[in-house]
Amino acid sequence: MGRSPCCEKAHTNKGAWTKEEDLKLISYIKAHGEGCWRSLPKAAGPPLEHPNLCCHPAIAYGSVLVCTGLLRCGKSCRLRWINYLRPDLKRGNFTEEEDELIIKLHGLLGNKWSLIAGRLPGRTDNEIKNYWNTHIKRKLLSRGIDPQTHGPINGGATAAFAAPHPSETAAPKASATDSCDETNSSGGSQDDDRDGYLDLNLALSISLPHRSPKRSQPSEPLTSAATSSSPQAICLCCHLGFQSSEACSCHTTQNPHVLRVIRRLEEAQH
């Protein structure tokens, strides 16, 4: 396709981020918001013809003056911000509840780390992916469960709690209506993984991102609600025709900046 590289590799730093680079990125995003990652280093960095010459204003962090110049690829900036610098990140060890939720969600969604991360506030897809590969995989293996199929390791046909494929199931064990807002009907047995996903609320809540106005298109209702700063929220349960079902609980949602998405169990398996 011959697409241009995402950045001028000759003029960008790679590897671990320094404290100073972190502060530069934070200060830039605080001033300009998220988005336009590709142009961020250009906007925040020193002139290419004089890469060592800093002509940018300094920002005071306590007693430290920090230049706003940033020699990083835009993708690298985005990753650093999303995975490490975002103020709403939780950091720290995963709880047992988070463990179980990740396992259940992985059984339903597969390696859709961003979707799984969307159900775990303060956690990033990268963090969950790493945690899965280093901890949970081993945990499942020790239980005799195949981490990929969520079925028994010895080749048994029954998956532990993976959603059945649409073509294989005439009547899914739990419909979207059943799964959403279902917190007390399964008996809550953690040992029975097959029942385990019945208590899983798959209503995906999507917070309105802080996007640059450039990518916002007010003409499209769904897109504009998801990308603009409009306080108007759209219930996707209603949008998809679930408004009369138990799955739709948009009337109970406190946060007006929330979109609700119902993912049907039979669609969750990819």
Partner DNA sequence: AAGCGCACCAACCGCACAATG
Partner DNA sequence: CCATTGTGCGGTTGGTGCGCT
At 174 the three-state DSSP class reads: coil
36 binds DNA (CB under 7 A): yes
Q: Are 38 and 2 in contact (CB under 8 A)?
A: no
Asked if 214 touches DNA (CB under 7 A), the answer is yes
Scan for tokens 């080749």, then name that residue.
Answer: 155
**In angstroms, rounded to a whole number, what is the distance separating the alpha carbons of residues 131 and 201?**
22
Rg, the chain, Cα only: 22
Check binding of 1 to DNA (CB under 7 A).
yes
CB of 178 to DNA, least distance (A): 25
Element (H, E) at 114: helix 113-118
Kindly state whether residue 38 participates in binding DNA, applying the rule CB under 7 A.
Answer: yes
Q: Which is nearer to DNA, 112 or 194 (CB)?
A: 112
- CB of 17 or CB of 186, closer to DNA: 17
Q: 145: which DSSP letter?
A: B
Binding mask 39-78 for DNA (x = CB under 7 A): x---------------------------------xxxx-x
Instruction: Report the residue from 126, 201, 228, 230 that binds DNA according to the rule CB under 7 A.
Output: 126
Tell me: does residue 16 bind DNA (CB under 7 A). yes
**C-alpha distances out from residue 60 to 52, 65, 121, Å:** 21, 4, 31
For residue 191, which amino acid is it?
A: D
Find the part of the chain contacting DNA (CB under 7 A) among 133-141, 175-183, 196-204, 250-258.
Answer: 133-141
Q: Residue 131 interacts with DNA (CB under 7 A)?
A: yes
Closer CB to DNA, residue 83 or residue 245?
A: 83
Residue 204: in which H helix or E strand, if any?
strand 203-207
Instruction: Convert 200-213 to b/e letters by CB count within 10 Å (16 or more is b).
Output: bebbebeebeebee
CB burial of residue 20 (10 Å; 0-12, 13-18, 19+): middle
**209 is an interface residue for DNA by CB under 7 A:** yes
Measured from the CB of residue 246, what is the shortest distance to DNA in angstroms? 28
Alpha-carbon distance of 202 to 180, in angstroms, equals 6
Q: Stretches 150-158, 174-182, 191-199, 209-217: which one binds DNA (CB under 7 A)?
A: 209-217
Name the segment binding DNA (CB under 7 A); options: 24-32, 108-116, 177-185, 231-239: 108-116
Closest approach, Cβ 85 to DNA, in A, equals 8
Nearer to DNA, 123 or 260 (CB): 123
Contact call for residues 21 and 70 (beta carbons, < 8 A): yes
- Alpha carbons 141 and 183: distance in angstroms, whole number: 27
Question: Which residues of the shown chain bind DNA in the complex (CB under 7 A)?
Answer: 1-4, 6, 13-17, 35-39, 73-76, 78-80, 83-84, 111-115, 125-127, 129-131, 133-135, 138, 209, 212, 214-217, 223
